[in-house]
Amino acid sequence: MIELKSPEEISRMRRAGRVVAELLDHLKGYVRAGLRTRELDAESRNFIKRAGAKPAFLGYRGYPACICVSVNEEVVHGIPGERVIQDGDLVSIDAGAVVDGFYGDAAISLIVGQASPEAQRLVDTTRDALWEGIRQARVGNRLSDISHAVQLRVEKEKFGIVRDFVGHGIGRAMHEDPPIPNFGAPNMGPRLRAGMVLAIEPMVTLGDYAVEVLKDGWTAVTKDGSLAAHFEHSIAITDSGVEVLTELAPVRA
Ligand code: MF3
Ligand code: CO
C-alpha cells in the first residue's frame, strides 16, 4: 500500500529533507584527497546532531554508520572506514536524517580533484537521469514512467543502469512502498497521486550493470570493477507539481 501524505505531513518532511540537503552540501566542500572515509562519517554525525536531527542509517538493519561512502567501483552502501580518498576518486555519499518522525534520504556523487572525462560524464549522466525521473513524477503519470525515463537517459550514453537496488517510498519509515526500479517499460504500475513521497535513486556504471555485495554484508561493487555513480532525491508529488525535498532551495519542477 502506498501511503499518501497530507500537505501538513509534507511540510514536516521538508525539515528532514533540508537537513540532508545541507549535510550533503557541507560534505561537498569538506571532502578532499587524504581524508579517510570515516572522517566524513564523523563530520556527518556531528552535523546531523547540531541540526537537531537523528541519523536515519545508523542502526538500520545493523548498519554501523550515519552515511554511506562508496568510492570508484563501489556502487552503494560503502561503510565509512580507513580507506583514504585519493585525487581523482569518484565518491558517492548517501545520507539520511529523521526529524519529528519523518525521514529524508538523498545521495550525491562527485570527483575529488582532477576528474577523468569518462568519470565526469558518468557523474553528469547519473545526475541528469535522476532529474529525468523527477520530471516524470507528476499526477496522472504511472510509476514506471519514472523508471523508464531514468533508463533511457542512462542507456543513451551506453552506461549500465543497476537492477539490484531500487528507489522507494519514504515517510515515517525510510523504506515505504512502492519500490521504484530504475529501468522498465513506461506506463506500468500505480498511478502517481498527490501526496506520494518518493526517493528516486539511479545507480549507474561505466561498464556492465551487474553488482555484488562484499563480505562485509553491505558494500555493493560492480562485478567488472568499473566506476559507478549514485544520485538520490526525496520528492513529494503535489497537485501543483513535484517538490524536491532534499534540494537546498526547495525546487518545484
Ligand atoms: N539511500 C539508501 C537506501 O535508500 C540508504 C540505505 S543505507 C543503510 O536504501 F545503511 F541505511 F541501509
Ligand atoms: Co534511498
CATH of the domain at 70: 3.90.230.10
Q: Is 30 in the pocket of ligand 1 (CB under 6 A)?
A: no
Q: Is 213 left (phi over 0), alpha (psi -120 to 50) or beta?
A: beta
Cα 120 to ligand 1 centroid, rounded to whole Å: 24
Task: Please report the atom of ligand 1 found closest to the CA of residue 60.
Answer: 11
Q: Give a yes or no: residue 85 inside a domain.
A: yes
**251 within some domain:** no
**Atom of ligand 1 at shortest range from CA of 199:** 4
Cell of residue 44, nine digits? 556527518
Q: What spacing in Å lies between the alpha carbon of 34 and ligand 2's midpoint?
A: 28
Q: Within the chain, which residues score under 70 in pLDDT?
A: 250-252
Write down the pLDDT at residue 10.
98
Specify if 1 maps to a domain. no
pLDDT at 216: 98
Q: Angle CA(89)–CA(201)–CA(178) in degrees, nearest 5? A: 155
Cα 35 to chain centroid, rounded: 22
How far is Cα 194 from Cα 173, in angstroms, rounded to an integer?
19
The rounded distance, in Å, linking the Cα atoms of 72 and 83 is 12
Question: Would the CB of 232 count as within 6 Å of ligand 1?
Answer: yes
53 alpha carbon – ligand 2 mean position (Å): 17
For residue 103, tell me if it sits in a domain. yes
The number of domains in the chain is 1
pLDDT of residue 82: 98
Instruction: Tell whether ligand 1 has an atom less than 6 A from the beta carbon of residue 31.
Output: no
Q: How far is CA 242 from CA 91, 137, 153, 177, 251, in A?
A: 28, 6, 20, 18, 8
The rounded distance, in Å, linking the Cα atoms of 178 and 183 is: 14
The pLDDT value given to residue 250: 63
Res 251: pLDDT: 65
Please, are residues 206 and 227 in contact by the beta-carbon 8 Å criterion? yes
Which atom of ligand 1 is found nearest the CA of 232?
1
Host domain of residue 204: 7-243
Nearest CA to ligand 1 atom 8: 57
Q: Which ligand ends up closest to the CA of 235?
A: 2
Q: What is the pLDDT of residues 11-42, one digit of tens each?
A: 999 999 999 999 999 999 999 999 999 999 99
Please list, in sequence order, all residues whose beta carbon lies within 8 angstroms of the beta carbon of residue 121, skipping any fewer than 6 positions away: 157
pLDDT digits (tens, 9 = 90+) for 144-165: 999 999 999 999 999 999 999 9
Q: C-alpha cell of 169?
A: 517510498
252, part of any domain = no
User: Which of the listed residues 69, 105, 198 should we mutate to test ligand 1's pocket, taking the one with most ligand atoms within 8 A of CB?
Assistant: 105
Among the bound ligands, name the one nearest to the CA of residue 220. 1
Determine whether the shortest distance from the Cβ of 164 to ligand 1 is under 6 A.
Answer: no
3-state secondary structure labels for all residues of the chain: CCCCCCHHHHHHHHHHHHHHHHHHHHHHHHCCCCCEHHHHHHHHHHHHHHCCCEECCCCHHHCCCCEEEEECCEEECCCCCCCECCCCCEEEEEEEEEECCEEEEEEEEEECCCCCHHHHHHHHHHHHHHHHHHHCCCCCCEHHHHHHHHHHHHHHCCCEECCCCCEEECCCCCCEEEEECCCCCCCCCCECCCCCEEEECCEEECCCCCEEECCCCCCEEECCCCCEEECEEEEEEECCEEEECCCCCCEEC
Residue 248: inside a domain? no
> For ligand 1, what atom is nearest to the CA of residue 107?
1
| Any domain includes 138 | yes
Structural domain contains residue 56: yes
Of all protein residues, whose CA lies closest to atom 11 belonging to ligand 1?
57
